[in-house]
Structure 1
Amino acid sequence: MGQLPNNLPSFSNFDTKELNQQIDSFLKSARETIQEVLKQENYTWDNLMLPLEDMDVELGKVWGLASHLHSVKNSPELRDAYNVAQPKISEFYTELGQNTELYDAILSIKNSAHFEKLSIGQKTLIENSIRSFKLSGIALPEMERKRFAEIAKELSSLSTQFSNNVLDATQNYHLQIQDEKDLAGLPQNVIDAAAACAKSKDLEGWVFTLDFPSFQPLLTYGESRKHREEIYHAYSTRASETGPNAGKYDNTEIIDKILKLKQEASKLLGFEHFSQKSIYTKMATSSQQVLGFIDQLIEKSHPQSLEEIEAVKKYAQSKGFSDELKTWDVGFYSEQMRQEFYDLNQEELRPYFTIDKVMNGLFELASKLYGIDIVESSDKPDVWHEDVKVYEISRNGETIAAFYLDLYARSDKRGGAWMNGCLSRHKDAQGQLQLPVCYLVCNFMPPAEGKPGLLIHNEITTLFHEFGHGLHHMLTKVDIAGIAGVNGVAWDAVELPSQIMENWCWEKDVIRSLSQHVESGEVLPDDKIQRLLNAKNFNSALAMMRQLEFASFDFRLHIESAKDDFKGAQQVLNDVRKKTAALATPEWNRFQNAFSHIFAGGYSAGYYSYKWAEVLSADAYSLFEEEGIYNEATGKKFLNEVLERGGEEDAAILFKNFRGREPQTEALLRHSGIK
């Protein structure tokens, strides 16, 4: 193996107190760079675009490190410093996007003979830059442009507030159980984790939190209906005016403000509503196309979801349950049903999937498909937590990328799983190549002291998913940071490399390669693998409808909020649920108040992208099914046409280059077991 890149972040030297000083100093220098490059007359790629890219890459290092630590090692001090710094960054990029001189300079390259001599990637970046200028209000009259800048700054601050409220609401709740009989049904490892959690809080008994690995098993396996309802109620009222911390971290008003500001900004740019603005940069071509896409999948999946919930109700009744089935009962009885019908308990499989064995199996698969080698770094690089590992990726003995792996839930870490760029592949003005590096972050249950981490199959698919994003970021051959890896890829296509990886989790050979019993060393037996596969699409229409509910709510919300008679987010969600919900949702449910994807992330009027990209990934994987799941030529084709190309060319073109035709929905419905 080669060596790790020498410009990795120094986490232990990060000083929260110096963050704003660093940001101020960097932004001052960046503004001077812009003034300097604009003094030239004949603009070219080398004298304008490259210095701007270099500047962007350097700012990404400073701010990217702070943003990353804000997600994985939050503290009151960092949060305060971050909240001061973020509006400055937002203001800088808004100012950049409204710099008419810079816009004219880039436009002059586009309209010159020099443009035709540039590479596909260079042309794409220039065209993307011009589009970004237009979306930053460059063409607006001065007063409106000023207002647009104010809106951008305010939205940046509101999204941080939203995210902080969700984190605080999550952290400031726990369910303490002191009677052992209330733990009936829970797997031993879940009970042990709850005991450890109680101990860490100096409490008696067992403690469950609103972190996914803690509360989800309680809803899935806990026989105590009272406690299932209690934790479901706390989780689904987070950051709202109701629930355990009623009003304390309430996001209701923030949602209203965000929607109003997004609508105002969209209107200023000449869009009817924010959903129309959102798809301007996506693979989808119109709001009608997106709504039609969502509604078509609802139409095909809803009847089956009603059949599935009816089956759960009947099963519950057969077990002596005589009350009305509620949302906090569905997971429990579904799991009982799955165990009985398929003789499958996910938790029983956990001892077969140790973290190390799963990682090795994943790396072997990536090696077969894409001709790469992955090993843990022997350099002992600086990390932000002792659990974090660093890996190098090489091809033919030469290091081409690296990644940090942070797998376990902690109290100072936000929930969920994600991949984020640490360094993008980029060749600077001096011809120095920066190798791509990324962060892969999950929130799995921490292992008991002295024991290896263990996963259930659902968590394996999460890991494969994020690793797919990582491959997209790390295997790119594009040397321009703004379109390398996941950068510059249409949002509704960016999930293709991540979702396609999930398919291999359902292949017998792959499952075998990931498994080795923690005590006996035994590979997961074929009969258990078959039961896992048989249960793959159990209640899949309900799962499909849940995602479609989120997608429909998100997209319609950003259309409805533009109307004079808009009655608020809750009303839109209620209306969507009439078409999507197989079981009535409690009226106190405030799902939207913690929907960080759309109010604190990049998925506003874009949550449909998950399903859109799932169509792409299922259809792309069907070529592997036709040619062989380890087929070298197919793997090479996906590598060459998708993973290596990043955002260099339109996603629709890249997909067609790989698949040989337009995407089709049949494979997704087939893979999902939807009739």
Structure 2
Amino acid sequence: MSNPLLDFSGHIPFDRITPADVAPAVDVLLQRADAALETVTQPDYPARWDAIAQVLDVATEELGRAWGAVSHLNSVADTPELRAAYNEALPKVTEFWTRLGADERLYAKYKAIDPATLNPEQRQAHSNAIRNFVLSGAELQGAAKERFAAIQERQAELQQKFSENALDATDAYAYYATAEELDGVPADVQNAARAAAQAEGKDGYKLTLKMPCYLPVMQFATSSALREKLYHAYVTRASDQASGDAARFDNTAVMGEILALRKEEAQLLGYGNFGQVSLVPKMAQSPEQVIHFLRDLAHRARPFAEKDVADLRTFAAEHLGLANPQSWDWPYISEKLKEARYAFSEQEVKQYFTAPKVLAGLFKIVETLFEVAIRRDVAPVWNSAVEFYRIERGGELVGQFYLDQPARQGKRGGAWMDDARARWLRPDTGLLQTPVAHLVCNFADGVDGRPPLLTHDDVITLFHEFGHGLHHML
């Protein structure tokens, strides 16, 4: 238990996990999972759903939970040391999951399970498992099976490299603007940029490519030159179009190899392309059906989009002196048009969306709709800004969630929900394991002790991710 990644007695001890814990914990958990796999695939081991679950599912759940914690920290609290530990363990973890999914003995054991002994939920899970064995290469033989495993390991490595390049390219960029250049930019954004520069002992205002800084500059800065500078830096991140030192984060070759490996994987499985593989567990029947849907949607939407563009061009020429708007001008033009025509200002609306007020409103809606109660709770966290909550129904714990709202260095951009722990009636103890979710956003932080202000889009994002969280927790 001295290794926090091996402590499954309660919530993940995020405050105690260090990079040095990763390798020994992964080794122990892989040994346990390997032993479990060997046990359930013995010829005399019963081909029963519950018998397999009691041994194999318990071991793989703990491996998945611990590795999920490491992966989560890699996304929200990246450091060189953690990244090195993650990358060292990644091939071993990938190799195990690939081998598990392609194990012919386990595949045969699952096929031998009598569906008549299962309840409806188990029958569906059993059907999905059989499908996933096939997609994981369980029916491949010899060299094809070896190549399939090598492809999985290389893809995991490349996907991690892609994420690292995207994060590093974003974190590496900084432009220190003058007060004059920031004319029109909201005061709270300017204050945050000034504080960021002062924290580094530098003059001016530190502008970054993180959304709470980048988007307001693109929407409100009157300086077209400043908008152009940030736009070019943003759209060329991690690409062969990046300039200077940023070129070292180029993802071009990474993407090319991923695409080639996906095509090879599909062909090994007997499909024409990776799109066909991707759709096997999904509702659409073919890539052609997906493309037809998207093109039909585009065809129907295009006339309205063209009308909007013409409207914006006319407004820009008549009111802003922009006869030939460029890519970096459109957010600015859109904001000015909304202000002039509809008396709508994103900046004014933001004053009403303080983060605590939005959160209280969100919780009230959820409590009313689902007849639950949401309360602050206590658990170890990876950053002091992270909050932890519990959801109760009739006084009984239903689920819990971590809420990580502010953008910061070392945190992947965007917003997402992930599961820290699944709801599960544990086959080893018979006890119900309640679910825990991660809800991650990248909003602006508060400045000078004032609460953060959310844009309307931020509010939509928070509700959206919370919906995913509810799906997991309820």
TM-score range, shorter chain: over 0.9
Query: Displacement of 1:323 after TM fit?
Result: 4.1
Q: Give me the whole-angstrom Cα distance separating, in 2, the residues matched to 1:41 and 1:464.
A: 47
Distance 1:381 1:141, change over 3 A: closer
TM-score by structure 1 length?
A: 0.68
Secondary structure class of the residue paired with 2:440 = strand
SS of the equivalent of 2:247 reads coil
| Alignment match, 1:469 | 468
1:419 is matched by which residue type in structure 2?
M
Counterpart of 1:436?
A: 435
Q: Does 1:102 align with 2:102?
A: no
Q: Distance in 2 between matches of 1:386 and 1:145?
A: 46
Q: Which of 407, 410, 416 is matched with 2:408 structurally?
A: 410
Contact 2:316 2:323 (C-alpha < 8 Å) held by counterparts: no
**Where in structure 2 are the equivalents of 1:3-82 lying within 5 Å?**
7-39=10-42, 40-82=44-86
Deviation (angstroms), 1:55? 2.0
Which residues of structure 2 form unaligned runs of 5+? 1-7
CA displacement, residues 572-608 of structure 1 (integer Å, 9 cap, x when unaligned): xxxxxxxxxxxxxxxxxxxxxxxxxxxxxxxxxxxxx
For residues 461 and 449 of structure 2, the distance between their equivalents in structure 1, rounded to whole angstroms, comes to 24
Q: Secondary structure of 1:219's partner? A: helix
The residue that corresponds to 2:325 in the other structure is: 325
Cα distance in 2 for residues equivalent to 1:24 and 1:320: 62
Describe the SS at the equivalent of 2:180. Answer: helix
Distance 1:107 1:354, change over 3 A: same
Q: Residues 496-535 of structure 1 correspond to what in structure 2 (within 5 A)? A: none
Map of 2:459 onto structure 1: 460
**Residue matched to 2:382:** 384
What secondary structure, in the 3-state scheme, does the structure 2 residue paired with 1:197 have?
A: helix
CA deviations over 1:317-371 (Å, ceiling 9, x no partner): 0024244211100000111001111101111122211212211111111112111
SS in 1 for 2:442: strand
Aligned-partner residue type, residue 330 of structure 1: W
| 2:270 corresponds to 1:270 | yes
Given candidates 90, 93, 96, the residue that maps to 1:86 is: 90
Task: After TM superposition, give the deviation of residue 121 of structure 1 in Å.
Answer: 1.4
- What residue is the counterpart of 2:228 in the other structure? 229
Q: What SS does structure 2 have at the residue aligned with 1:264?
A: helix
- Return the alpha-carbon distance in structure 1 between the equivalents of residues 129 and 57 of structure 2: 11
Amino acid at match of 2:393: R
Offset, 1:13: 1.5
Aligned counterparts of 1:119 and 1:320: Cα–Cα separation in 2: 66
Q: What per-residue deviation string (whole Å, max 9, x for no partner) do you get for residues 183-240 of structure 1?
A: 1111111111110121122221111101011111110000000010000000000011
Unaligned runs of 5+ in 1: 476-675
Where does residue 238 of structure 1 map in the other structure? 237
The answer to whether structure 1 residue 248 and structure 2 residue 248 are counterparts is: yes
Cα displacement string for residues 375-432 of structure 1 (whole angstroms, at most 9, x for unaligned residues): 112xx32111111111110001111110011110111211111111011001112201
Q: Distance in 1 between matches of 2:466 and 2:18?
A: 30
SS in 1 for 2:419: strand
Preserved CA contact (<8 Å) 2:39 2:45: no
Structure-to-structure mapping, 1:114-193, within 5 angstroms: 115-178=115-178, 180-193=179-192
Q: 1:464 and 1:204 mapped to 2: Cα distance?
A: 38
- The whole-number CA distance in structure 2 between the counterparts of 1:198 and 1:371 is 46
Q: Helix, strand or coil for the counterpart of 2:181?
A: helix
1-side partners of 2:223 and 2:106: how far apart? 63
Q: Distance in 1 between matches of 2:422 and 2:22?
A: 22
Q: Are the aligned partners of 2:402 and 2:437 in contact in 1 as well (CA < 8 Å)? A: yes
- State whether structure 2 residue 403 is matched by structure 1 residue 400: no
**Equivalent residue of 2:267, what SS?**
helix
Cα offsets for 1:262-301 (capped at 9, x unmatched)? 0000000011001111111111122222111111110110
Q: CA deviation at 1:50?
A: 4.0
- List, as ranges, runs of 4+ consecutive aligned residues in structure 1 with deviation greater than 4 Å: none
TM-score by length of 2: 0.96
Measured in 1, the distance between the counterparts of 2:282 and 2:67 equals: 26
- 2-structure distance, mates of 1:117, 1:33: 23
The whole-number CA distance in structure 2 between the counterparts of 1:453 and 1:87 is 40
Identity %: 38
Offset, 1:41: 3.9
- Cα distance in structure 2, aligned partners of 1:273 and 1:49: 34
User: Matches of 2:219 and 2:73 in 1, distance apart?
Assistant: 32
Inter-CA distance 215–320: structure 2 relative to 1 (3 Å threshold): closer
State the partner residue of 2:447.
Answer: 448
Residue number in structure 2 paired with 1:480: none
User: Is the contact between residue 435 and residue 472 of structure 2 (CA under 8 Å) also seen in structure 1?
Assistant: yes
Deviates more, 1:282-291 or 1:76-85: 282-291
1:394 partner amino acid: E
Contact persistence 2:104–2:138 (CA under 8 A): yes
Partners of 2:281 and 2:223 lie apart in 1 by 48
Q: CA deviation at 1:246?
A: 4.7
Q: Secondary structure at the match of 1:347?
A: helix
User: Which secondary structure does the structure 2 equivalent of 1:383 belong to?
Assistant: coil
1:42 CA drift (Å): 3.1
Which stretch has the larger CA shift, 197-206 or 263-272?
Answer: 197-206
SS, match of residue 351 in structure 2: helix
SS at match of 2:467: helix
User: Against the structure 1 CA distance between its residues 320 and 385, is the aligned structure 2 distance closer, same or farther, given a 3 Å change threshold?
Assistant: closer
